[in-house]
């Protein structure tokens, strides 16, 4: 029982760290109250964390029921076996899919429509590992057992099929490394 209590405490700490990251990274979050009541991404992460806890203790059916509820209510599909560190933000959230063998590091910001999926049906590791402090743009697809390094940025609607080194920006279909381009706009 002590181990379950410790894991519940870890879950609550993770939810607090998620909440703190929302305050920093979600400009639409007007207040703490706003996040608690209306943030679908925050709610989906909470339900994922609960299903993940149950999954890890072998309560597969309750974990899968919470997973199903999460998909139906928030349209966010995070498999209970995925590993998501504390302090992740899913902004908007609609259409996010995170597969069972995926990992996501703390400080990562995931926009709507993102898929952390597989490229083919295989046993074992088949989903990506996302480093810490990564930004994944809306609609991006990161497919297969690849690694996206810390502080990387993935452009909106990009399809990532190869490893992304840390501190790099990848865009396009298929995604390739790009140099940051700064444009000045004269009004």
- Is 164 inside any structural domain? yes
Strands 141-143 and 115-117: parallel
Q: How far apart are the first and last CA of the chain?
A: 64
- Return the half-sphere exposure (C-beta side, CA atoms, 13 A cut-off) of residue 172: 10
Prediction pTM value: 0.91
What CATH number has the domain bearing residue 16? 2.160.10.10
- Is 185 inside any structural domain? no
The secondary element (H helix, E strand) that includes residue 71 is helix 60-74
- Is 187 inside any structural domain? no
- Is 143 inside any structural domain? yes
- The pLDDT value given to residue 5: 87
pLDDT digits (tens, 9 = 90+) for 125-156: 999 999 999 999 999 999 999 999 999 999 99
- Is 183 inside any structural domain? no
pLDDT digits (tens, 9 = 90+) for 6-19: 999 999 999 999 99
- Residue 130 phi/psi, 5° resolution? -105, 125
pLDDT digits (tens, 9 = 90+) for 59-96: 999 999 999 999 999 999 999 999 999 999 999 889 99
Mean pLDDT of the chain: 91
- Is 14 inside any structural domain? yes
- Is 118 inside any structural domain? yes
Domain that includes residue 78, residue range: 2-178
Our count of domains for the chain comes to 1
- Is 111 inside any structural domain? yes
- The pLDDT value given to residue 2: 61
């Amino acid at each position: 029982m002590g181990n379950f209590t410790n894991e519940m405490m870890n879950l609550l700490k993770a939810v607090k760290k998620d909440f703190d990251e929302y305050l920093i990274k979600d400009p639409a979050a007007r207040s703490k109250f706003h996040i608690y009541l209306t943030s679908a991404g925050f709610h989906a992460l909470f339900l994922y964390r609960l299903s993940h806890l149950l999954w890890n203790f072998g309560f597969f059916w309750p974990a899968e029921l919470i997973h199903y509820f999460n998909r139906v209510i928030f349209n966010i599909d995070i498999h209970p076996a995925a590993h998501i560190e504390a302090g992740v933000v899913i902004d908007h959230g609609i259409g996010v899919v995170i597969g069972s063998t995926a990992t996501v590091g703390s400080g990562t910001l995931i926009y709507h429509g993102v898929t952390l999926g597989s490229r083919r049906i295989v046993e074992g590791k088949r989903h990506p590992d996302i480093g810490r402090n990564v930004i994944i743009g809306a609609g991006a697809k990161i497919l297969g057992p690849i690694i996206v390094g810390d502080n990387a940025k993935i452009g909106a609607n990009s399809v990532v099929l190869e490893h992304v080194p840390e501190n790099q920006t990848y865009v396009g279909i298929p995604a390739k490394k790009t140099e940051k381009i700064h444009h000045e706009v004269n009004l």
